[in-house]
Structure 1
Amino acid sequence: MPQSTLQGKVAVIGGGEKNLGGLLSRTFAQDGAKVVVHYHTSDDEAKRTVKDVQDAGGQAVSVQGDLTRVADVRRLFDAAKDAFGGVDVAVNTTGMVLRKPILEISEEEYDRMFGINAKAGFFFIQEAGRNLNDHGKIISLGTSLLAAFTDGYSTYAGGKAPLEHFTRAAAKEFADRYISVNTVAPGPMDTPFFYPQESPERAEFHASQAMGNQLTHIEDIVPVIRFLATEGWWFTGQTMFPNGGYTTR
């Protein structure tokens, strides 16, 4: 039977220590899930998120790892099973944004962008498929630029684009175990990742393109991911664009 609650489920959240991932960790725990908080370098924030969950009566552990390293992705899921006996939901919120003209991008920058946005995304889905219980949920974080185009974001949009294809293939390959696989692709989000890439004028323009003249907030995206992790079992192989009506020049 499809799951319609997170009560008693185990959720692995890539980048689960802060921003969207941190809010997801806290929300899933409030809904009764046992949460595995992955982080790369933000040890203090991971500890704070785990403590918040535990102080609220939930269960959580943190696991450090660089998801561009396949061994670390495997260790993350192994740690989840060691801590809680299995995995039911896997959400990958990790990524890296770079706004830079194509003519100025170095080979090192290209490799780093595709490592974080594409390679890590692929092997997260792979290990989730290997480790999730039947009727599990796999959700990746994309970008609204998958459905639009603009200047400057070639390696970000290009690095995230493979997620759509990984998601579709995995949705077919894992279907016999009733595991759904989806991508959520928000518009520009009001987080610390966004502002270093944009001028104040461009940030204002981006906000003007959405309903209410505001950037996407992490609170807007959590309910979409929560839906896919619970009631949204019939959705699979999809890319969803919760973007507030965002458009781009």
Structure 2
Amino acid sequence: MNSINDYFNKYTFLPPIAYGALRGICVNTLLHPLETIRTRQFLSKKSLNIYKASAEIFLENGLKGFYKGYTPSLKRLLWKQIWVWPIITNLPIYLSQKTKLNPYRSLLITGLCLASLDSLLKGYEEARIQAISKSPTMTIEKKFSYGLGTHWSKLSINWCSFLMSQKYFKEKQLQANVDNTLSMPQLLLIGLKVGAFTSFISAPFEVANAWKLGLRKQLPLSLSYACLKQLCNGLPLSTTKLVIHNIASVILLDFLNKK
């Protein structure tokens, strides 16, 4: 019994869940309109830029159209916070102490674990949407298994690059600080750097995942301008979302590490 109490005293679970849920509410409220626009771009049979997709949504439902599906989206995001943040805050510490791995290797393994869980949960949802909208003759299970490998690769890059780069940029900034603490402007700058780095690294996987899932199969695979434009449709919004997510995550992770 004492060993169980020691374990829960050593590794924190409730604060990451509670603050992660609060982060989820704030970020989802901010980013849901962008996700609505991105979804409209993907589901449209014609090529739509951000402005045209936004105009279509506004003309159909007004401002409330941008928050269509907000509640289901929030539920999925809150569920994700429940398991993501306890892993992020506890698994690297556990690996470093039990296996004597250096911090970066511990973060790498943590990122791969998160990517595996995330790809199984999120990949099925994406496959369901795309099977219905793009390939009605293909079952959800087949669509899911077809894109799982590429989806896992993309998430592995996202998670590993986020965890490792935020540690690197924090350490560099702390070395320059006299008081060994990070101010909010510094955290925002670190989050921006991490988001930009992660977006740059993951962009090819974002495009490859879109291609493999069949989002752009109406175009022959080539290096033509039309093909590249169609493949990259929605990429600016994905990049913006990823940067904002990374900024919020850097701030929350720094806060939780001080608890």
Q: Same fold (TM over 0.5)?
A: no
Larger Rg: 2
More helix by share: 2
TM-score (norm 1): 0.30
Question: How does the TM-score come out when normalised to structure 2?
Answer: 0.29
Flag the structure with higher strand content.
1
